[in-house]
Amino acid sequence: MNPWRALVEAAFPASCPGCGRAAEPVCHACARTLRAPPVSPPPAGVDRWLAPFAYEGVARELVARVKYWRTRATVPWLATHMARLVVASGADIDVGVATWAPTTIPRRHARGFDHAELLARAVARELGLRAHPTLRRRPGPPQTGRPAVARRAGPQFDARPGVVPARVLLVDDVATTGATIAAAADALRRAGASSVVAVTAARTPRPGRVSPGQLAARRV
């Protein structure tokens, strides 16, 4: 283990993100509060979008751990649930490759890893698929922390040179507006994909919902 990671793990011992009890990645009681997101139509260019958990409560904290702390057990635990859902949906049968919507290069350098890649590789392992980087992110600000209106515009991607298979499993940590997934699916289709199934660890209960605070901000 590298010294930095050892330091982080010493500072943040394995604890449930819901209640703080000693449990990793989540205690049984808090795991029971996790629920599936309501069914909603996928964004443009995406055949199906799957997510085991609604992006709220403990699920939100688990996703944050993937993004910021890289706690050891969270990624495989989420990946197992994501892979089970893919299998249950029947969508894994013809998939050629698992890929991911890459985070910004500055973020990857700051964190030392790309959380979407970590999840994609873990989901691929569970499904016995090849994980392959097929996308490049065009320069621009990261989605996290941007206003909802800007997030809906989304980042932009291009396919890397090489062959994009006809059927792609696109993996990301969370879907909120669906803009990132739609942009990634668009790039994959431009490069020849005919089917894009997206799986995220969590999805907002109502994608694209605008909060009263955001509406008030818009009116100003």
Residues of the shown chain interacting with Zn ion in the complex, contacts defined by CB under 5 A: 16, 18-19, 27, 30
**Interhelix angle 57-64/74-89, nearest 10 degrees:** 120
Q: Which two tokens stand for residue 53?
A: 């958990």
> Would you say 28 or 219 has its CB closer to Zn ion?
28
Q: Which two tokens stand for residue 165?
A: 């298979």
CB of 102 to Zn ion, least distance (A): 32
- SS3 for 166-190, per residue? CEEEEEEEEECCCHHHHHHHHHHHH
CB of 28 to Zn ion, least distance (A): 8
> Would you say 62 or 122 has its CB closer to Zn ion?
62
> Would you say 46 or 202 has its CB closer to Zn ion?
202
CB of 24 to Zn ion, least distance (A): 10
C-alpha dihedral (183, 184, 189, 195), degrees to nearest 10: -120
> Would you say 19 or 87 has its CB closer to Zn ion?
19
CB of 32 to Zn ion, least distance (A): 9
CB of 29 to Zn ion, least distance (A): 5
Q: Which two tokens stand for residue 43?
A: 């964004």
> Would you say 34 or 182 has its CB closer to Zn ion?
34
* Calpha distance 4→192 (Å, rounded): 41
Q: Where are the alpha helices (DSSP H) in 12-51?
A: 28-31
